[in-house]
Structure 1
Amino acid sequence: MLLNLQYQLDHNPKQHAQILEDFWKRVELMGTPIIENYDEQHSRIVFLWKGAQHNVRLIGGPSNDHEWLTRLPNTDIWFKESIIDHRYIGSYSFAVDLPNLEGYLSNYCPHLNPKLKESRMQRRAVIQVQRIDPFNKNTYLASDDTSGLRNENFVALKDAPPFIDPKQYPNVKQPQLQEFVLDSKILNNSRKIQIYQSKAKKNQSYITAIFFDGQQYNELLNVPKALDILVEQGQLPPIQAIFVSPPNDQERPKELTPNVKFSAFFSDELMPWIQKNAPAKVYSKKTVLLGSSLGGLSSAYLALENPNLISHVVPLSGSFWWQNAATDLPNGMSKIIRDKTSQPKQHWFITANSYESSRNNNELSILETSPIVAADLKNTGHDVHYQSYIGGHSYAVWQVALQDALKHFFAHK
Structure 2
Amino acid sequence: MTRLPNTDIWFKESIIDHRYIGSYSFAVDLPNLEGYLSNYCPHLNPKLKESRTQRRAVIQMQRIDPFNEKTYLASDDTSGLRNENFLALKDAPPFIDPKQYPNVHQPQLQEFVLDSKILNNSRKIQIYQSKAKKNQSYITAIFFDGQQYNELLNVPKALDILVEQGQLPAIQAIFVSPPNDQERPKELTPNIKFSAFFSAELMPWIQKNAPAKVDSKKTVLLGSSLGGLSSAYLALDNPNQISHVVPLSGSFWWQNAPTDLPNGMSKIIRDKTSQPKQHWFITANSYESSRNNNELSILETSPIVAADLKNKGHDVHYKSYIGGHSYAVWQVALQDALKHFFAQK
TM superposition shift of 1:124 = 1.3
- Corresponding residue for residue 402 of structure 1: 334
Aligned-partner Cα distance in 1 for 2:314–2:325: 26
Aligned-partner Cα distance in 1 for 2:124–2:338: 24
Partner SS state of residue 319, structure 1: coil
TM superposition shift of 1:230 = 0.1
Per-residue deviation, residues 93-129 of structure 1 (Å, max 9, x unmatched)? 0101111111111123322333321112111111221
Q: Work out whether residues 3 and 41 of structure 2, in 8 Å CA contact, stay in contact via their aligned partners in 1.
A: no
TM superposition shift of 1:409 = 0.1
Which aligned pairs between 1:250-269 and structure 2 lie closer than 5 A?
Answer: 250-269=182-201
Partner SS state of residue 320, structure 1: coil
Aligned-partner Cα distance in 2 for 1:172–1:203: 25
Per-residue deviation, residues 127-177 of structure 1 (Å, max 9, x unmatched)? 221100010000000011111101000000000000000000000000000
Partner SS state of residue 84, structure 1: coil
TM superposition shift of 1:74 = 7.2
Identity among equivalent positions (%) equals 95
TM superposition shift of 1:73 = 6.2
Per-residue deviation, residues 2-38 of structure 1 (Å, max 9, x unmatched)? xxxxxxxxxxxxxxxxxxxxxxxxxxxxxxxxxxxxx
Partner SS state of residue 85, structure 1: coil
- Which of 1 and 2 has higher RCO (CA within 8 Å, sep 6+)? 2
Aligned-partner Cα distance in 2 for 1:109–1:184: 47
TM superposition shift of 1:280 = 0.2
Per-residue deviation, residues 372-391 of structure 1 (Å, max 9, x unmatched)? 00000001000000000000
TM superposition shift of 1:70 = 3.0
Aligned-partner Cα distance in 2 for 1:377–1:337: 7
Aligned-partner Cα distance in 2 for 1:78–1:104: 18
- Corresponding residue for residue 106 of structure 1: 38
Aligned-partner Cα distance in 1 for 2:118–2:153: 30
Aligned-partner Cα distance in 2 for 1:365–1:71: 29
Aligned-partner Cα distance in 2 for 1:389–1:281: 34
Q: Work out whether residues 126 and 146 of structure 2, in 8 Å CA contact, stay in contact via their aligned partners in 1.
A: yes
CA RMSD of aligned residues (A): 1.1
Partner SS state of residue 27, structure 2: strand
- The question of 1:300 aligning with 2:236 is answered no
Partner SS state of residue 12, structure 2: strand
Aligned-partner Cα distance in 1 for 2:311–2:132: 37
Query: Could you tell me the TM-score, scaled by structure 2's length?
Result: 0.98
Aligned-partner Cα distance in 2 for 1:220–1:233: 23
- The question of 1:237 aligning with 2:174 is answered no
Per-residue deviation, residues 68-102 of structure 1 (Å, max 9, x unmatched)? x2345676653211111100000000101111111
Partner SS state of residue 254, structure 1: helix
Aligned-partner Cα distance in 1 for 2:323–2:39: 31
Unaligned runs of 5+ in 1: 1-68
Aligned-partner Cα distance in 1 for 2:278–2:207: 20
Aligned-partner Cα distance in 1 for 2:167–2:269: 32
Per-residue deviation, residues 179-214 of structure 1 (Å, max 9, x unmatched)? 000000000000000000000111110000000000
Deviates more, 1:69-78 or 1:313-322: 69-78
Aligned-partner Cα distance in 1 for 2:288–2:47: 23
Partner SS state of residue 82, structure 1: coil
Q: Work out whether residues 2 and 41 of structure 2, in 8 Å CA contact, stay in contact via their aligned partners in 1.
A: no
Per-residue deviation, residues 41-88 of structure 1 (Å, max 9, x unmatched)? xxxxxxxxxxxxxxxxxxxxxxxxxxxx23456766532111111000
- Corresponding residue for residue 327 of structure 1: 259
Partner SS state of residue 93, structure 2: coil
- Corresponding residue for residue 355 of structure 1: 287
Aligned-partner Cα distance in 2 for 1:410–1:315: 17
Per-residue deviation, residues 235-290 of structure 1 (Å, max 9, x unmatched)? 00000000000000000000000000000000000000000000000000000000
Aligned-partner Cα distance in 2 for 1:338–1:229: 40
- Corresponding residue for residue 162 of structure 1: 94
Q: Decide which structure has the larger Cα Rg and report it.
A: 1
Aligned-partner Cα distance in 2 for 1:245–1:327: 32
Aligned-partner Cα distance in 1 for 2:186–2:53: 19
TM superposition shift of 1:359 = 1.1
Aligned-partner Cα distance in 1 for 2:89–2:46: 33
Per-residue deviation, residues 327-383 of structure 1 (Å, max 9, x unmatched)? 110000000001111111000000000000111111000000000000000010000
2:77 to 141, 145, 149: 145
Cα pair distance change 1:73/1:114, threshold 3 Å: closer
- Corresponding residue for residue 9 of structure 1: none
Deviates more, 1:108-117 or 1:211-220: 108-117
- Corresponding residue for residue 278 of structure 2: 346
Aligned-partner Cα distance in 2 for 1:392–1:148: 22
Aligned-partner Cα distance in 1 for 2:320–2:224: 14
Unaligned runs of 5+ in 2: none
TM superposition shift of 1:393 = 0.1
